[in-house]
Amino acid sequence: MPEEIYSPGLEGVIAGETAISTVSGGLSYRGYSIEELARHGTFEEVAYLLLYGELPGAEQLDEFRKRLKAAAQVPRPIIDALRQIPPATAAMDVMRTAASMLAHWDPDVNDNSHEANVRKAERLLAQLPVVMAARHRLKQGKEPVPAESGRSLASNCLYMLFRADPSPAHVKAMDVSLILYAEHEYNASTFTARVIVSTLADLHSGIAGAIGALKGPLHGGANEKVMDVLQAVGKKENAEKWIRDALARKEKIMGFGHRVYKEGDPRAVYLKELCDELARETGNEDLETTSDVIQRIIWEEKKLPPNLDWPSGRLYYYMGLPIELYTPLFVLSRVAGWSAHVIEQLDNNRLIRPRARYIGPARRPWVPLADR
């Protein structure tokens, strides 16, 4: 028999093929660098690229936006169910539940054809922002705000949360963050979705499972922990002592290091520029200075560069977004990438079934109950 190779956490293991994205030589979606997509594209263009394989032309983009706007509504029974969920329930748990519930009203739920899966993906892309905003407002004792025609997905997301016109800078920041979070090859949540649908389960099941995987602080939940750190530091004058003491205690500081990007996360570089701009606009220069001090010292001491979660947590904070929504916002973006992977998996499916390295007892005989 060939020698078994064991790689804890599947690190470095090639588990499949994909044409959707790669982190080799920097992150790219379908061949386009993340830097160019973030600087020149819109989230709708990027979502189309992920789902259809090519950037849309003007007419294709217009039709895509019309379909998203038509789908930006949630069945009344789901809104009523959101009212009944205990207020203390984590927002990510609500998103996971909603993704599953939406399947019950989807006309294509049990159709795993390519065309049906694309239709389901488009609907989820439009519906999940409605769910997130509705749940947030209901918790505050306010009624949900319907999506408005004529707004981009990023603009509608902010409008449905606050019932106010977001500033152009906030819309741009939201749009860019959605682009940067949209896809990232075989990460934990994406692999979860592919494993689920490899059994020929439906797209909604894959997305619900992916949301569950994203909830963990070692994956999507890290951007929430970023603000815990910055708020614990307090004044910028405390930053250097605080972080050096934390490192001396061997505390893990979320938002730094990456399983793949050893030299630095390209997504974090561009988002840092937006953080600087929004910090000036919103009077948060001191907090941005604090983050710079922490980033510098962690690099000096640990040689760990920031990942995307480090600037995104601050960006959302500067926009006035509640911390509990940071990871659900990740969901609204990554559903495009998850869906693309689900579609790709089912288009050429093979059941994902790895082996385990057994470390239990050697084979032993049965012992009768009277002799134990």
Which residues are identified as catalytic? 258, 309
Distance from C-alpha of 335 to C-alpha of 337, rounded to nearest angstrom: 5
SS3 label, residue 77? helix
Starting at the edge strand found earlier in the chain, the sheet holding 32-33 runs: 21-22, 28-29, 32-33
Outline where 256-325 has alpha helix (H).
266-282, 285-302, 309-318
The per-residue DSSP string of 105-168 comes to G-TTTT--SHHHHHHHHHHHHHHHHHHHHHHHHHHTT-------TT--HHHHHHHHHHSSPPPH
Distance from C-alpha of 109 to C-alpha of 330, rounded to nearest angstrom: 23
Residue pair 52/106 in contact (Cβ under 8 Å)? The answer is no
**Taking the mean position of all CA atoms in its chain, how far away is CA 286?**
28
Burial 359-371 (b: 16+ CB within 10 A, else e): eeeeeeeeeeeee
SS3 label, residue 258? coil
User: 364 is written with which tokens?
Assistant: 């032993």
Angle formed at CA 247 by CA 241 and CA 248, multiple of 5 degrees: 85
Give the residue carrying structure tokens 């028999």: 1
Distance from C-alpha of 43 to C-alpha of 172, rounded to nearest angstrom: 10
| Sequence letter at residue 276 | D
SS3 label, residue 295? helix
